[in-house]
Amino acid sequence: MVSKKHIKPLLFLFFLFLLSCGQKEQKSDVSVKDKPQENREAKALLQGVWLDSETDEPFFKADGDTIYFADATSLPAYFRIIGDSIELGSNTYFITMQTPHNFQFRNPGGDEVQLVKRDESDEDQPEFVEQAPQIISTTEVVNLDSVVMYGGQRYHWYVTINPTRYRVMRTTYTPDGVAVEKVYYDNIIHVSLFHNNRRLFTRDFNKQAYAADVPDDFLQQSILGNIAFDKVDAQGFHFDATVCIPDGESCYMIETLISFDGQLSMKLLE
């Protein structure tokens, strides 16, 4: 039995418990109210196929929470409309007009992208990537080798470019300045060097082998494109490795030097 002298403290603790619960519920209600709410009506208006108003080319297809692109190499992107902006993937674009048949927004450069909705009765409907996108890669193993002479000695080098299933994600932009994600497969490149029948060096290279010379943000979106033999001199055998952004002109070239005793060293060339 609880004595009378303990009842008041217990009632006080119970009151504090109820008070704290009420404060938590109030905070929860405030956080829900303050959280930006998605505009479901605007999302419903966007459903369907949209064309570039200038070229009449398919731009994207909105289906549910996802936007699909006509480019077979671009990943579908989750989207939502909040306030006066559309969040597409990890990017946000300001909407300047939205009607049942017109949709306009600004790209990061401030230019207006103008879209018109395709007539659903049109039988010639464009195709969109609604499953796994086409992944860009070299599909065949490439074998290269050659014999070189130095100091009257015969050396034989081998380079094999092996496609992998290691995915590389790269952000690209449509002609209208809209960011899309593309997927590529990276390579692993095998290099071997022999002096007559004696093996001096053998190794499989991936792009991480060149992390010391290539910035991390570049490395994440790049692939190891090639390791090409350049020359042999008193230092050893010079190979040029290229780490490149797929479909771009940006590359790092790293000298990969194998000495006559099979030691490896690297040096950034450009």
Beta pairing class for 85-88 and 77-82: antiparallel
Query: Nearest Cα to 127, choosing from 85, 69, 80?
Result: 69
Q: What is the pTM of this model?
A: 0.65
pLDDT at 171: 82
pLDDT digits (tens, 9 = 90+) for 99-145: 999 999 998 888 899 999 988 665 555 555 554 444 455 556 788 99
pLDDT digits (tens, 9 = 90+) for 22-47: 554 444 444 445 667 889 999 999 99
State the distance between the two ends of the chain, measured CA to CA, in whole angstroms: 85
Indicate the burial class of 164 (C-beta count within 10 angstroms; 0-12, 13-18, 19 or more): middle
